[in-house]
Amino acid sequence: MPPPQPSTSPTAVTETCTTHNLTPTEFTTLLAHAQDAKTRAYCPYSRFRVGAALLTAAGDYVLGANVENASYPVTTCAERVALGRAVVDGYHLRGGFRAVAVATDAGEPASPCGMCRQFIREFCDLSVPIIMFDKDTNYVVMKLEELLPLSFGPDNLGAPDPAKPKPSAGQA
């Protein structure tokens, strides 16, 4: 993983935004929303709060927080909660997503778990930046393809791209 950058550094943020086709406002809004979502986490067992924010192609933001369960495997990560909400709202059919941000209370930026990486792969292009913030808002950005090399997705099954709308009845 690359070394963390301070989100308080205009130079670092500008470079990140230029590289990943984001505006500084989009970057800071992703950070604010991921941090806000983190405060809503339900994690009475691990006390490991995670918040996620998605930037949609439409310019909207969708938030998610981790939701733990006494039966640990039933726990749902913040990234999957956010994507589930986005799918319910139809964003995957309206151009998809431009960025994913994840915020934790960890001392170093934490990447999405393997299950979340695969879940993100279902709905996001491999070039989508995943911005990972630590407790002090220092961050690391990696493209999904870097976090999930040799990925397996809908295209491997010959399935339609979930980000593209299906034709209406009567259309070919």
- Say which of 15, 26, 79, 146 is annotated catalytic: 79
- On whether the CB atoms of residues 97 and 56 are closer than 8 A, the answer is yes
CA atoms within 13 A on the CB side of 93: 10
32-69 exposure pattern, b = at least 16 Cβ within 10 A, e = fewer: ebbbebbeebebeeeeebbbbbbbbeeeebbbbbbbbe
| Binding site, annotated residues | 66-72, 77, 113, 116
| Binding site, annotated residues for Zn(2+) | 77, 113, 116
| Binding site, annotated residues for substrate | 66-72
> Residues with Cβ < 8 Å from 32, sequence gap 6 or more?
none
How crowded is residue 96: how many other Cβ atoms within 10 Å of its Cβ? 20
Taking the C-alpha atoms of residue 171 and residue 107, their distance in angstroms, rounded to an integer, is 53
Take residue 140 and report the two structure tokens written for it: 């690391």
Q: What is the DSSP letter of 28?
A: H
Annotated catalytic, 146? no
Distance set, CA 6 to CA 3, 11, 14, 98, 160 (Å): 10, 9, 12, 21, 39
Catalytic (active-site) positions = 79
